[in-house]
């Protein structure tokens, strides 16, 4: 199984995970954490703890809200890169639904690409704004 950590500023990640559960039901192995009220090193410790606490044999993915921000730095400092865990930025609902839907059927590399594709497709101008 592939487990996921959604690491964001404020409660954005927790709300996204809550909405995924509203749509699909609870998703085991999908957690949310925030950097709110934590230093960069404290947030990196959250990542390191999550990496160490994955189920035996489980692969991981980390979703962050902003590339180059403090959550991205915390993922790197917390050991995601060293552990070979991909970090996907720009997390949105479509990405998390794709994760929950296909994580048991696809190899991680293919899943990552599908998640990124779904996330990009979800960003669009809707209505008269064209």
Each of the 130 residues of the chain gets a pLDDT tens digit; together they read 899 999 999 999 999 999 999 999 999 999 999 999 999 999 999 999 999 999 899 999 999 999 989 999 999 999 999 999 999 999 999 999 999 999 999 999 999 999 999 999 999 988 876 5
Establish if 45 belongs to a structural domain.
yes
Establish if 102 belongs to a structural domain.
yes
CATH number of the domain to which 27 belongs: 3.40.50.510
Establish if 12 belongs to a structural domain.
yes
- Confidence (pLDDT) at 130: 57
**Closest by alpha carbon to 88, among 105, 111, 106, 107?**
111
C-alpha dist (Å) from residue 117 to 89, 90, 92, 127: 12, 12, 12, 22
Establish if 129 belongs to a structural domain.
no
Establish if 97 belongs to a structural domain.
yes
Establish if 32 belongs to a structural domain.
yes
Establish if 126 belongs to a structural domain.
no
Is residue 96 within 8 A of residue 6, CB to CB? The reply is yes
Q: Which residues contact 53 (CB under 8 A, 6 or more apart)?
A: none
Q: Which residues contact 13 (CB under 8 A, 6 or more apart)?
A: 6, 7, 32, 33, 34, 63, 65, 91
Count of structural domains, the chain: 1
- Confidence (pLDDT) at 127: 85
The domain of 36 spans 2-121
Local structure of 68: helix, strand or coil:
coil
């Amino acid at each position: 199984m592939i487990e996921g950590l959604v690491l964001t500023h404020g409660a954005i990640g927790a709300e996204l995970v809550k909405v995924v559960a509203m749509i699909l039901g609870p998703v085991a192995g999908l957690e949310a954490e925030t950097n709110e009220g934590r230093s960069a090193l404290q947030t990196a410790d959250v990542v390191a703890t999550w990496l160490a606490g994955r189920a035996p044999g489980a692969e991981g993915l980390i979703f962050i809200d902003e590339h180059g921000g403090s959550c991205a730095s915390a993922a790197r400092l917390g050991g995601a890169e060293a552990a070979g865990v991909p970090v996907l930025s720009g997390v949105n609902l479509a990405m998390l639904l794709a994760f929950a839907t296909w994580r048991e059927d696809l190899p991680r590399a293919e899943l990552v690409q599908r998640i990124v594709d779904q996330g990009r497709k979800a960003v669009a101008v809707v209505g008269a704004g064209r």
